[in-house]
Structure 1
């Protein structure tokens, strides 16, 4: 019954991308595990690769994956270098002014601060964050000194080499790093930022947006999205 509902919805939307082009290009960063990363075989892997492949299958779309640096990921979507962003991107009003978003495929995920000492005063600290992230905006809001880096790995390296006092990022990214490095520890409580994570779509691609909305909803309805969240993002709240 749920499959029939999805098929009906996709028929109504006309599967716009499939009619307009042969291949839908799925843009991701490939550097932010467990959301997306390059595995040992040189392939894009992670939560969003598995999710995106399933969404494309349900929508009966032919999709291919491309990577792009985070700091130019929105401009390159707008300029047509790929058709979606599926890269751990939180839905925010500022981003929504430039691109459209599908409905969220995760709830707002917790962010964490990690440093070398647990009693760090965040308001007076020097904190690293990846450029253009909601975490970078949070550091500015609390009045701490923000140091931005192009990649998430650079933010962690800056803590380890003493360039900054702490790093802030999604807890799902930081948790395995803290587990493996005894010198790193959480500072304070988790922080909820943003409005959940969705796929970024050009504002002109309304049919493609609705096609993926229908596929996301079908995964919510039959429980498969929660299964993926439990597998890859166990700290995240299910739908």
Structure 2
């Protein structure tokens, strides 16, 4: 699919956003390998590299801003930035408030990280980050849910005995388990992820379409699969 041919000065953005030269890309900066803050204090990771390429293909000038996860959707709606690109799974509940582009990752299974493989995640205490699909899943299960604002806090809760296990994206937990011999990934996985997409205000239809076209072009030329492999964020697209 050919690249979009438009200049930043000629953008006709959606009714919900005034015409502007710069699109603000909102992310959390605390969920590697998707997004994190590097040693230079800059946003880094799979979504930083992906977002920069999407902006290039859409001929948009983009800047990156960070926001805490628990208020990331309200701050998009209120106009503090123009997109969410933060490892956000597409689901019906969120789609009632914001729009999503097509998915830029394949569904990634959720996994449990614990201090022992003997943990009972069906009736024990399981932690998850507030406002995630994993927190909703645990809340509907027989386990006791303990929520924390950041992913780091959920892992810390397992280490210090506040929770029996943490449920999160497997691609987030695998590097942690590899670096810490005291933590183990359980064999059990939960397939609750529908794929990750960019969040856009419902009024910004044209902006969503521009990013959709850029994502499509990356899928078609194989460059999206290359990024997925580089950052090890799940299965590639066929």
TM superposition score normalised by structure 1: 0.93
Q: Does 2:107 align with 1:108?
A: yes
Superposed CA deviations along residues 95-131 of structure 1, whole A, max 9, x for unmatched, are 0000000000001111110101112221111011000
Q: Does 2:24 align with 1:7?
A: no
Aligned alpha-carbon RMSD (Å): 1.7
Q: Bigger CA drift: 137-146 or 195-204?
A: 137-146
Measured in 2, the distance between the counterparts of 1:209 and 1:196 equals 17
Please list, as runs of the form range in 1=range in 2, the aligned pairs for 1:63-212 lying within 5 A after superposition: 63-212=62-211
Specify the SS of the correspondent of 1:123. Answer: coil
* Number of aligned residue pairs: 233
Q: Is contact 1:15-1:207 (8 Å) kept?
A: no
Q: Which has the higher helix share?
A: 1
1:230 corresponds in structure 2 to 229
Measured in 2, the distance between the counterparts of 1:145 and 1:196 equals 26
Measured in 2, the distance between the counterparts of 1:188 and 1:16 equals 49
Which residues of structure 2 form unaligned runs of 5+? none
Specify the SS of the correspondent of 1:55. Answer: helix
Go from structure 1 to structure 2 and tell me whether the alpha carbon gap of 1:107 and 1:16 turns closer, same or farther (over 3 Å shift).
Answer: farther
Which residues of structure 1 form unaligned runs of 5+? none
CA drift of 1:143 comes to 1.7
TM superposition score normalised by structure 2: 0.94
